[in-house]
Amino acid sequence: MAAAKLGLVGLGNLGMEFGLRAVAASRSVVAHDASPRLALAGAARADSVGAVVAAAPTVVSVVPDDAAARAVADELLAAAAGRGSDAPPLLHVSCSTISPAASASLAAAHAAAGVGYVAAPVFARPENMRAGQASFAVSGGDAALRARAVTDALACAAPRERCFDYGDAPGAANVAKLCGNFLIAASIEALGESLALAEGHGVDREAVLAMLASTIFDCAIYRGYGGRVAGRDHAPGGFALHHGLKDVGLVQKAAQDARVPMPLGSLLVDQFTAASNDAALAGLDWSALGLHVSKNAGVDASSK
């Protein structure tokens, strides 16, 4: 039996790559984005979230923040109310990086409407999604609903062993995602500072990074973001600086809610705020935090 049609809401950098993988996996996809200029090659185009719901029993959303996630959910649940009693059960898989509190609120609204909800925030840059290197933190609903989310949606982008199950609490996956993004943001800050130190002493920053990323810090984050920071390659198209500011803000709020001291988190909020307010950096990838660090260190950021 052919797989049921898959709905997709959100065709930003990451959502677009997810959709392309779904199409490449021979899934029948119907896609919508708030921007009418964005369309997914190989997919049917929907002019609203409601049209996606009408066409697909499983809907994946990939949107930038809490407000956008709530707006999508409001439209989705309104459309769900008009589905016939013989329609298959509707499932919404939220792959967005949002606050744990927002995820819990969305789950409650979905449950009240009789619609399944699974939080599945994704770890991937667009190029990682394209290469099949995404990972998902998954929670909410029950085990059967999460298994359906993996089979019907997430399998397009990641094997089952890269879908990490955090249980029934819908906000749990979002906490795990914020833990990961906090560590990435902290790594970018640390890379910026350490390479500015090298450069301040006249030592080639790229040579230092090559040693570190091939020995004691031989891991994807230090190789990938280290290469961007060392080479000052912060071209837009991956993960924008203002999204980084949003995420470290979510980390700070989650820490406050749990009364967990995170002094490094406060530093990151200050650093990302200052970098985002710099007109020369505002449109760049979030790794451009390294340029802000260089400027603070008095290093000539126009050179490598």
pTM, whole model, 2 decimals?
Answer: 0.95
Cα atoms in the Cβ-side hemisphere of radius 13 Å centred on 92: 34
Q: Per CATH, which fold does 175-297 belong to?
A: N-(1-d-carboxylethyl)-l-norvaline Dehydrogenase; domain 2 (1.10.1040)
Residues with a catalytic annotation lie at 177
Nearest 5°: CA angle at 133, between 252 and 250? 10
pLDDT digits (tens, 9 = 90+) for 29-58: 999 999 999 999 999 999 999 999 999 999
Which pLDDT score is estimated for 85? 82
Q: b/e map of 176-208 (b: 16 or more CB within 10 Å)?
A: bbbebbbebbbbbbbbbbbbbebbeeeeebbeb
Closest of 92, 178, 181 to residue 140, by C-alpha:
92
Q: Which CATH superfamily includes the segment(s) 6-169? A: NAD(P)-binding Rossmann-like Domain (3.40.50.720)
Place of tokens 């709905």: 7
Closest of 196, 295, 284 to residue 245, by C-alpha:
284
pLDDT beyond 90 at 144: yes
Which pLDDT score is estimated for 3? 66
pLDDT digits (tens, 9 = 90+) for 231-241: 999 999 899 99
pLDDT digits (tens, 9 = 90+) for 122-139: 999 999 999 999 999 999
pLDDT beyond 60 at 2: no
Domain ranges of the chain: 6-169, 175-297
93: confidence class by pLDDT, cuts 50, 70, 90:
very high
Check residue 286 and report its DSSP letter: G
Q: How far apart are CA 95 and CA 140, in angstroms?
A: 12
pLDDT beyond 70 at 6: yes
Amino acid at 67: A
Q: CA dist 170 to 44, 78, 117, 118, Å?
A: 30, 21, 8, 7
Instruction: Please name the helix (run of DSSP H) or strand (run of DSSP E) that holds residue 144, with its range, or none.
Output: helix 143-152
258: confidence class by pLDDT, cuts 50, 70, 90:
very high
Question: How many other CB atoms sit within 10 Å of the CB of residue 102?
Answer: 22
Tokens of 189: 């800050």
Q: What percent of the chain has pLDDT over 90?
A: 94
